[in-house]
Amino acid sequence: MKRFIEYVRYQSINGGILASSIYRPYRKVWLRDHAFASISLLFNGYDITPQIKWLSTLFQLESSKVRILLEMDKNHPDILNQNLHPRARYTPHFQIINEFWSERQYDGVALSLALIALYKKYTCKFPVERKILDLFVDYLIKFHDTPCADQWEMHENFIHAETLGSIFFGLRNAAELYPRNSRKRLQLINFTDYLRTKIHSFVKDGVLLKMKRELDGEACGLDSSVLLNFTLFDVIQDREIIKETLNKLYESLSPDGMGLRRFLIPGEKDVYFGGGVWYITTYWAAEAYFKLNEIEKAKKLLLYRLRFPLPEQIIDDTLIFDLWWKKKWTEISRKENNGIPGPADPLTWSNSEFARILNYTVLL
């Protein structure tokens, strides 16, 4: 455990946690990954003051954008222009990265709000100005029902169950930062209750599905990231939904009954490096099995092909969809990463989520 935590700690530059310090395309700070990794460090008892200061500075720098967006009519033709929104990723020194990428991803802001609230809970220190907190809270409320890129930075024309779950998690925790019985706290409790209902509407035949084109539309697709709604985000407690979703994910996304691929939607498979099994998705499944008290299954998944430090995907041609796409992505990676074939190895997020989930298990 300590080795994984120490690895995560040493991926920090200027307080921002790099997605991967070795893999050049990921030598950046993803807001989502930074929040996940910082939460893992916090839960494991480590001081995350540098990470909180980095986030507080970023929120201050991006507050003017958010203020403009809150004043803009929601029907304005540019309201979803990603250049007007907080970004998904930055350099450790807060520079904007101008590359082709889906930068509007609400879960980064949502997880960051949760991190700020959890830091306050653990340390009794309030790391951001109240007016800055209000801006980002109101930002998530305003844009929760608009499409954005998913956790895998794809499918930006859809609303995703994971994104809504992260907003629930962020705002439910942020509510604790406001005085008891205050109007803002009550607003956030009521709003997150509403969000819980909307996330339940993604359930079809007992399975929590991936996405919708509109919030009141029909859900479709499978995605391992929905498992966070049962665990860290704590949106859905219904054991039958958890069980049925796990069964469906393993039926459709697992080539060997252990590891999980990322997603499968109508007309599209995951073909990134051939569409292999990711460590992080398998750990989320382990956490969900712990929630069902299926301890032995969860332990086996946590130890499945475990090594140190952890990469992005498991490198095994028997676990991928398509060798052609593996070759294609390998060629792309070599060009971007000084000849190194990829995928990212190690990936900070894989290590931090393993450490977070292990912290709550009987393996300690």
The burial class, CB within 10 Å (0-12 / 13-18 / 19+), for 153 is: middle
Could you give all domains of the chain from N- to C-terminal order, each with its CATH number?
A: 2-358 (1.50.10.10)
232 contacts 243 by C-beta, under 8 angstroms: no
- Chain centre distance of CA 35: 8
State pLDDT tens for residues 74-92: 999 999 999 999 999 999 9
pTM for this model (two decimals): 0.97
Kindly state the percentage of the chain with pLDDT values over 90: 95
Question: Which residues lie below 8 Å from residue 144, measured CB to CB, with a gap of 6+?
Answer: 106, 164, 167, 195
State pLDDT tens for residues 249-296: 999 999 999 999 999 999 999 999 999 999 999 999 999 999 999 999
State pLDDT tens for residues 221-242: 999 999 999 999 999 999 999 9
Spatial strand order of the sheet with 263-265 comes to: 222-223, 263-265, 268-269
Q: Give the pLDDT score at 1.
A: 83
Q: Mean pLDDT across the chain, nearest whole number?
A: 96
Which residue in 195, 177, 101 sits closest to 140, CA to CA? Answer: 195
Q: Give the pLDDT score at 99.
A: 80
> 130 is written with which tokens?
């109240």
- CA angle, residues 81, 51, 86, in degrees to nearest 5: 5
DSSP state string for 21-56:
SSSGGG-SEEHHHHHHHHHHHHHTT---HHHHHHHH
What are the CA-CA distances from residue 290 to residues 244, 250, 303 (Å)?
Answer: 15, 16, 14
State pLDDT tens for residues 39-57: 999 999 999 999 999 999 9
Instruction: Say yes or no to pLDDT of 364 above 70.
Output: no
Q: What does the pLDDT average to over 101-111?
A: 97
Q: What does the pLDDT average to over 62-73?
A: 98
d(CA 298, CA 33): 23
H-helix or E-strand containing 204? strand 203-204
